[in-house]
Amino acid sequence: MGKLIEVQDLVLRFYTYDGVVKALEGVNLFVKEGETLGVVGETGCGKTMTGLSILDITPAPGKIEGGKVFFKTRHGKTIDLLAQEDRILRMIRGKHISMIFQEPGSALNPVYTVENQIAEVLLHHRRKELLERTLAQIEKDGMEKKIYKKMLENPNSRTLKVFLKIPIIGRCKRLKKEVRKEVLNILKEMEIGDPERVAKMYPHELSGGMQQRVVIAMALACDPRLLIADEPTTSLDVTVQAQILDLIRRLKKRLGSSVIYITHDMGVIAEISDRVAVMYAGNVCEVAEVKELFKRPIHPYTIALLESIPKPGEGFKSIVGMVPNLINPPTGCRFHPRCPFAKTICKEKMPKIKEVKKEHFVACHLY
């Protein structure tokens, strides 16, 4: 299996008044085709930022200062996403790589109905395909057919876009019908019981689980090859969480896409992922297959993290200390102030990530 996406030495910094926040400091990751990579870590360790960096949409004071994100396109070419023009990136976002956000309630625009929001994605990335389908339906030769043919020739032309804005003439009834059919299809795939009714609703009229389904529907509308799921189930209750996880897993299997699943819930990670990357304070500290990681964790942080999972009958265990301030991160290994096995070298040199066993990578001086 080839690598679908590979992140190399990604450096992300935020220039704030208090100083430079070194949010990501040399992140190395890769995702193979068709696999699910779980990314775990405490709050503020850069999981979400890694996801946003892959799409190159990091929020305002953030700057990607180094590193490469290699992505294998459908034609088998490998491109560096961070070096691409904005125009090309816009084609990739949503179509080849899409993202599910943490809060389904706020990831949906409150002023549009569900149908409109999904239709936007469809019209943005799959206009050509939808036009072809519509054209196939028209039997009569005439004005209508001519217009659709024109549209198909150059789906993104400015004049046409303006033309479509004219009321009555530019209605494109058939295209709209086709889009609507597709939207309902997608909603049905998301196991929404009554797609016709849900399609007409505004986001705030839906429950949290439903909203998340709609967000997933938007993300999967164009059959992306990589899905970045940023804590999609954190704000949902456990029963809905299980449904959503099931849904993501099944859709993934059907579309054959890869998933980067970001969460801080070890249970969810064990459930859904093939491999796991553990992040701490802007670094990846351990990557391994899920069983291997849970059975034989190597990095002291991973060990501590696994021990802190609450078990019935036992008291809570936590990791001593706090996540460091990323403006002045500790020198050397960022985990050393909290690490029970810290040596002098840990304070001085940042460990490089290396393969200690087959498919088991770790960044620690102890190994």
Partner 1 sequence: MTNIMSKLKEFKQSKQPTIKELKFIVHRIKKSPLSIMGLAIILFFTFIAVLAPVLAPPVPPPMGKLDPFMVWKDLNIPPRERNLPSPPNPTHPFGTTEQSYDMYYGCIWGTITAFRIGLMVVILALIIGLLTGCVAGYYGGIIDEILMRLTDIVIAFPGLVLCMALVTALPPQLTINLGFTQFAITLNKLDKVLLALVLVGWPSYTRVIRGEILRVKEEDYVEAAKAVGCSDLRVIVKHILPNTIYPIVIMASLDTGAIVLTAAALSFLGIGAPLGYADWGQLIALSRNYIISNIANPAGNWWVWIIPGMFIFTFVLGWNLLGDAFRDILDPTLRRR
Indicate the residue among 90 and 296 with the shorter CB distance to partner 1. 90
Indicate the residue among 186 and 362 with the shorter CB distance to partner 1. 186
Contact call for residue 91 and partner 1 (CB under 8 A)? yes
SS3 (DSSP) at 78:
strand
Contact call for residue 324 and partner 1 (CB under 8 A)? no
Closest CA to 180 of 133, 227, 219: 133
Residue 205: CB partners within 8 Å, gap ≥ 6?
A: none
- Selected from 200, 291, 317, 347, the binder of partner 1 by CB under 8 A is 200
Indicate the residue among 31 and 218 with the shorter CB distance to partner 1. 218
- Selected from 41, 46, 67, 94, the binder of partner 1 by CB under 8 A is 94
CA–CA separation, 262 vs 111, rounded Å? 28
Closest CA to 47 of 226, 231, 292: 231
- Selected from 21, 39, 49, 92, the binder of partner 1 by CB under 8 A is 92
Indicate the residue among 13 and 93 with the shorter CB distance to partner 1. 93
- Selected from 28, 36, 98, 212, the binder of partner 1 by CB under 8 A is 98
CA–CA separation, 44 vs 49, rounded Å? 9
Which residues, listed in sequence order, are joined to residue 38 by a DSSP beta bridge? 261, 276
Minimum distance of partner 1 from residue 125's CB (angstroms): 7
Contact call for residue 111 and partner 1 (CB under 8 A)? yes
Contact call for residue 107 and partner 1 (CB under 8 A)? yes
Minimum distance of partner 1 from residue 202's CB (angstroms): 6
Contact call for residue 214 and partner 1 (CB under 8 A)? no
Minimum distance of partner 1 from residue 305's CB (angstroms): 27
Q: Per-residue string for binding with partner 1, 32-71, x by CB under 8 A?
A: --------------------x--x-x-xx-----------
Return the range that interacts with partner 1 (CB under 8 A); candidates 33-41, 109-117, 187-195, 245-253: 109-117
Minimum distance of partner 1 from residue 356's CB (angstroms): 35
CA–CA separation, 245 vs 224, rounded Å? 17
Report, in angstroms and rounded to the nearest whole number, the Rg of the chain calculated over CA atoms: 23
Q: How many residues bind partner 1 (CB under 8 A)?
A: 35
Residue 214: CB partners within 8 Å, gap ≥ 6?
A: 104, 108, 114, 117, 118, 187, 190, 192, 198, 203, 206
CA–CA separation, 323 vs 234, rounded Å? 20
Minimum distance of partner 1 from residue 253's CB (angstroms): 23
- Selected from 70, 163, 202, 294, the binder of partner 1 by CB under 8 A is 202
Convert 252-263 to b/e letters by CB count within 10 Å (16 or more is b).
beeeebbbbbbb
Which residues, listed in sequence order, are joined to residue 5 by a DSSP beta bridge? 31, 71
Give the footprint of partner 1 on residues 136-175 (CB under 8 A).
Answer: none
Closest CA to 179 of 94, 224, 118: 118
Minimum distance of partner 1 from residue 107's CB (angstroms): 4
Contact call for residue 110 and partner 1 (CB under 8 A)? yes
Give the footprint of partner 1 on residues 115-134 (CB under 8 A).
Answer: 120-121, 124-125
Closest CA to 26 of 227, 264, 229, 281: 281
The number of helix segments (H) and strand segments (E) in the chain equals 15, 12
Binding residues (CB under 8 A) for partner 1: these are 52, 55, 57, 59-60, 86, 89-95, 98-99, 101-103, 106-112, 120-121, 124-125, 200, 202, 204-205, 215, 218
